[in-house]
Amino acid sequence: MLGLFDKDPEKTQQTLVERERNTSNSPSAAASYTSSLDMYSHDSSSSKDLKPTVSITTLSSDKPSFLVIFLTALASISGFMFGYDTGYISSALVSIGKSFGTELSYGEEQFITAATSLGAFITALLSGLIVDFSGRKPLLMISNLMFIVGAIIQCAAESVWTMIVGRFIMGFGVGIGSLISPLYISELAPSRYRGRLVVLNCLGITGGQLIAYAIGAGLNHVHNGWRILVGLSMIPPAIQFVAFLFLPDTPRYLIMRNKTEAAEKVLMRTNPHASLENIKLKILDLQEEDLLSECKNPFKKWWNTVLELHRVPSNFRALFLSCALQAIQQYTGFNSLMYFSSTIFKAIGFNNSTAVSLIVAGTNFVFTVFAFFIIDKIGRRLILLISIFLMTCFLVLNAIAFHFIEITFHHNSAVVLGNIHTWGIVIIVSMICFVASYAIGLGNVPWQQSEMFPQKVRGIGTSYATASNWGGSLIISATFLTMLENITPTGTFSLFAGFCVLSFILIFFCYPELSNLELEEVQELLTGGFHVKRSMQLAKARKNGAPPAIEKDTPESLNSV
């Protein structure tokens, strides 16, 4: 199972025996920090009988240390930039046109908006290929430079094409940040708080969108106000860049690069209450997990990793689930509201569209805060199912309400025939409820993607998933208005509702509960099946503080869901 056992069985045996001894010699440490989750048959009483075993060291069940919270907040600046840069464009578009001499055409507006998603799509894929060589931190710092260069080009832009180039380069930063920030956070976080800490990054995204909308509304009537809006976006990446000059990379990455001492230092600083003994055990866990990737030629190493992502069934299950969740997040239509809410609300006769956009972004933010408090308690699976069930209900309500409103859509503008009436109110209320339902679950859980992959394929696996997100975002933003025109709003929202129903079924049968598990445990869970039932028992046991009672698994029991 782990490469360790294939390569040097004697050393392996020695290590494991030593670990057994360490743990039993120090019962208090073992009780407070260490638990052994043996997913496969193993008789610990006799070293001769040791078989492949995963022994997971839980460093601490305490709250995350100050350093972990600080690093999470700092990494979440990337989330903020993601939100701000995708958020400011809707208000900037209103005034940009006049600065370039003529009003922007519909196509130009689409290009300017989509350039960022396209740039993000490209770098999300590319940075996955290099993240295990370059490190997490340097890539985040490169994304900071791209944010700044992109913003400078836009601020100075005198033509549409310069603007598009600036947005495209900024998109490079968004793509890298959206991949690396949750990865960095989840590799540092204690397992019990991982969900919440990754949601902090989502709070950054939704907060960034809200602030961009608010500042955009404030600068609406200021001459060249959009340049100020874009200029302000340079401050957060500059702060992140300088701070990261002095801060560490993740222990998991440092182990991959054989920097054991540096990893030990980081683990000690991020887990101040853990004993040195347990830190060393944790390092052994991480080294065991990394052993298979020992290979001198970097290209071969990379290629082996790609092969392993696709060929090892547990990795492929992780890939399937993480890409599916990101695609579901986009294809169920939330961003159509984020980008086009003013168009929709104008269509039903509600003229203060800026206020409505602010309400949409505000609801998204407030309910992401709510998700922050409940995600590790309720669990990702249940919260996702509730979220998608509610989204379906509100989408259906929306589709019905639109059926009773006469609207004609024509070239990015909509004309409502008649006055706003009861059905208009139903649409506004159900859309806001739809946003709230999305934000408590589907808006966040897909970004927990890093936890599904073992260390070795985590970089590439999460980059596929992030690219699925940006690909979906690109497609929805490019087709939504066309869909409204061609298949009517009722048809469009029914289509999104249909996606929701399919997604619900997929998640119900395939998505295991991963909260409270160590990152190293998750891949074991995905071995031999999705193990949905088993995952729920395991997560519950972990939540209650007790290491789960391990029964001996046979291949058959592992195959049962």
Ligand X SMILES: O[C@H]1[C@H](O)[C@@H](O)[C@H](O)[C@@H](O)[C@H]1O
By CB under 6 A, name the binding residues for ligand X.
86, 202, 205-206, 209, 329, 335, 338, 364, 443, 447, 469, 473
- Nearest distance in Å: CB 209, ligand X: 6
Closest CB to ligand X among 86 and 398?
Answer: 86
SS3 416: strand
Q: How many CB atoms lie within 10 A of CB 83?
A: 28
DSSP per-residue codes, 443-457: TTGGGGGGGGS-HHH
- Nearest distance in Å: CB 179, ligand X: 12
- Nearest distance in Å: CB 496, ligand X: 14
Residue 437 to residue 443: CA distance in whole angstroms: 9
Closest CB to ligand X among 144 and 330?
Answer: 330
CA dihedral 422, 423, 424, 430 (to 10 degrees): 110
- Nearest distance in Å: CB 197, ligand X: 15
Which residue minimizes CB distance to ligand X?
A: 443
Closest CB to ligand X among 185 and 255?
Answer: 185
- Nearest distance in Å: CB 556, ligand X: 39
φ, ψ (nearest 5 deg) of residue 2: -85, 145
Closest CB to ligand X among 159 and 479?
Answer: 479
Closest CB to ligand X among 189 and 205?
Answer: 205
Is residue 518 within 8 A of residue 191, CB to CB? The reply is: yes
- Burial tier of 282 (Cβ tally within 10 Å: 0-12, 13-18, 19+): buried
Closest CB to ligand X among 450 and 469?
Answer: 469
Of the candidates 151, 149, 162, 150, the residue with the CA atom closest to the CA atom of residue 108: 162
Residue 192 to residue 399: CA distance in whole angstroms: 40
One-letter amino acid at 182 equals P
- Nearest distance in Å: CB 25, ligand X: 46
Of the candidates 232, 215, 267, the residue with the CA atom closest to the CA atom of residue 95: 215
Closest CB to ligand X among 36 and 469?
Answer: 469
- Nearest distance in Å: CB 484, ligand X: 19
Is residue 373 within 8 A of residue 304, CB to CB? The reply is: no
